[in-house]
């Protein structure tokens, strides 16, 4: 089975200088989301209001652009651009997991279709952070148990 690709929303809080995208975004939520996707072992992209689908290793400058301030037409155009970027990187049947709010998901709904999941749908920010922390801890615990099992063999 193909591992899902995670799509993580960008956040407003950023470092003041150019750095890898995975390190640019500084909110507690983003750090927890990054830790979670790292435990999943698959590919992931950051959904950037300015850049579209960002590879986590791409070096970018800080910026101040938000989908919340865009018109509906601009968000649709953003979605078309991002869908094209993602289509070049992700197979048409690869599962997609959104760690992003509706402003980021809705413009990509047609592209993602039924292969998309939204594990934190309906959760507030505090609940999302708790969910991410729990999932990350559980994944690390499972990995540690597997390491112990391998040592036993």
Return mean pLDDT, the chain: 93
Q: Cα(39)–Cα(137) distance, rounded to whole angstroms?
A: 9
Q: Do 21 and 55 meet the contact criterion of CB atoms below 8 Å apart?
A: yes
- Measure the CA angle with vertex 112, ends 108 and 116; round to 5°: 115
pLDDT over 80 (residue 126): yes
Q: Cα(8)–Cα(41) distance, rounded to whole angstroms?
A: 15
Which of 122, 126, 133, 129 has its CA nearest to residue 39?
133
Task: Using alpha carbons, list the distances in angstroms from residue 107 to 16, 73, 81, 103, 113.
Answer: 29, 10, 10, 7, 11
pLDDT over 60 (residue 10): yes
At 141 the pLDDT is 81
Provide the number of structural domains found in the chain. 1
Kindly state the tokens that stand for 57: 């290793």
Task: Using alpha carbons, list the distances in angstroms from residue 116 to 8, 30, 85, 93, 99.
Answer: 13, 20, 17, 10, 11
Range(s) of the domain holding residue 10: 5-152
- pLDDT tier at 79 (50, 70, 90 boundaries)? very high
Percent residues over pLDDT 90 in the chain: 87
- Measure the CA angle with vertex 130, ends 128 and 131; round to 5°: 65
Give the three-state DSSP class for 10.
coil
């Amino acid at each position: 089975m193909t591992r899902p690709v995670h799509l993580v929303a960008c956040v407003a809080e950023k470092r003041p200088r150019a750095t890898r995208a995975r390190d640019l975004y500084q909110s507690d939520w983003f750090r927890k989301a990054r830790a979670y996707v790292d435990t999943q072992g698959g590919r992931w992209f950051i959904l950037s209001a300015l850049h579209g689908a960002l590879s986590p290793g791409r070096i970018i400058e800080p910026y101040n652009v938000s989908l919340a301030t865009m018109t509906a037409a601009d968000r649709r155009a953003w979605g078309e651009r991002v869908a094209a970027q993602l289509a070049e990187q992700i197979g048409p049947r690869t599962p997609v997991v959104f760690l992003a709010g509706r402003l980021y998901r809705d413009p990509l709904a047609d592209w993602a279709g039924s292969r998309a999941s939204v594990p934190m749908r309906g959760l507030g920010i505090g609940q999302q952070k708790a969910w991410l922390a729990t999932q990350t801890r559980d994944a690390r615990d499972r990995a540690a148990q597997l390491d112990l099992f391998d040592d036993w063999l």
